Amino acid sequence: MAGQLFFYFLALLTVAGAVAVVALPNPLYSVLSLVATFLGLAGLYLSLNAQFVAVVQVIVYAGAIMMLFLFVVMLINLGREERQALRLPVQKLAGTIIGLGVFAGLVNLYATTPLLTGAKGLFPAARLAEVGSVQAVGRLLVTQYVLPFQAMAVLLFVGIVGAVVLARRRAR
- Of residues 10 and 58, the one with the C-beta less far from other proteins: 58
CA distance 38 to 172: 40
CA angle 84, 89, 94 (to 5 degrees): 120
Nearer to other proteins, 101 or 138 (CB): 138
Among 63, 99, 138, 148, binds other proteins (CB under 8 A): 63
Please say which residue, 63 or 99, places its beta carbon nearer to other proteins. Answer: 63
Looking at residues 129 to 168 of the shown chain, list those that interact with other proteins (rule: CB under 8 A).
129, 132-134
CB of 63 to other proteins, least distance (A): 4
Cβ nearer to other proteins, comparing 67 with 146: 67
Other CB atoms within 10 Å distance of the CB of residue 99: 11
Question: Residue 75, interface with other proteins (CB under 8 A)?
Answer: yes
* DSSP collapsed to 3 states, 57-123: HHHHHHHHHHHHHHHHHHHHCCCHHHHHHHCCCCHHHHHHHHHHHHHHHHHHHHHHCCCCCCCCCCC
Q: By CB under 8 A, name the binding residues for other proteins.
A: 28, 32, 35, 51-52, 55, 58-59, 62-64, 66-68, 70-71, 74-75, 129, 132-134
